[in-house]
Amino acid sequence: MIKKTLFFSKPAHLHQQYKQLIIELKQEGTRHQVPIEDIGIVVLENQQITITQSVIASLLENNACVLWCDEKHMPSGLLLSMAHNHTYTEKVRFQLEASEPLKKNLWKQTVTAKIRNQASLLRQLGLEYKPLQRWSTEVSSGDKENIEAKAASFYWEKIFTYLNTRTTRHRHGPPPNNLLNYGYAILRAVIARNLVASGCLLMVGIYHRNKYNPYCLADDIMEPYRPFIDRLIIDFVSRLGQIPETLTPAHKKELLSIPAIDVIIDSQKSPLMVGSQRTTSSLVACFKGESKKILYPNLE
């Protein structure tokens, strides 16, 4: 079952009663309730939201993640269960003992899948895509030639030209980077949640190594999923007829559909939240030596 994503942009008080999340909206004077076991992601945007410790503990117990936003209403913090998987210690040991050749092979698969999906998106948009298609077959173990970066430069030039903007892809760049940042933050939360559920240690990546980043593994595994977010944003901007300078609650509501968008893995369609669980489970199988292939989606 796909879990619910709850987004709070107005002042609210969140507490629980009989395993139900009780939502009291202060301005409207209304009260709502949602079963905590049905919740996958909670986004807290308003600075006047209060939440009880019992709610946080119950959300973590049910492997829900909580995404906090800063005063600019952009995601700034992520709270996850520390060890939701029953055989967590064993699986972490397999992850920590993974050999360098294995990690390099896993990164090759990741980069190949990402570039292949970037090529598919450009093809769907009627843009030049064949260089990406060719580069996806040339990725070596560990991507030592850094084909990922070459592909990204080509890809974003085409995407931003299509959107009729002269900007470049940068976290702190002008719109539509704001849309991309928000969408990727939601994606990162979904992937991180599923990695924890599969028994992985988030701060130990297969490629990303940053002492300031506690989500290195999520940043690795989300790479082939990024073009799905790009497509959602391009479709949204096309319907809107312009690139929004600031994100309204309506814009964010559109991006909060990310866990429910369809992905296809091995010809099987499922919501992204469910499909990415297959991906994270297959990663653990690779760490354990039971498989050599990560199950990534194809953008078709």
- Work out the number of other CB atoms within 10 angstroms of the CB of residue 293: 12
Q: Is residue 285 exposed (0-12), middle (13-18) or buried (19+ Cβ within 10 Å)? A: middle
In total, the chain counts a number of residues equal to 300
Handedness of CA 293, 89, 224, 231 (dihedral sign): positive
Q: Which of 60, 67, 9, 70 lies closest to 41 in space, CA to CA?
A: 67
28 assigned ligand-binding residue: no
Q: Known binder of ligand: residue 32?
A: no
In angstroms, the Cα distances linking 191 to 40, 112, 165, 197, 290 are: 11, 19, 30, 10, 21
Buried b (16+ CB within 10 A) or exposed e, 48-59: ebebeeebbebb
Calpha distance 242→245 (Å, rounded) = 9
208 is in an annotated binding site: yes
Q: Which residues are annotated as a binding site for Mn(2+)?
A: 148, 208, 223
Give the residue numbers of the binding site: 148, 208, 223
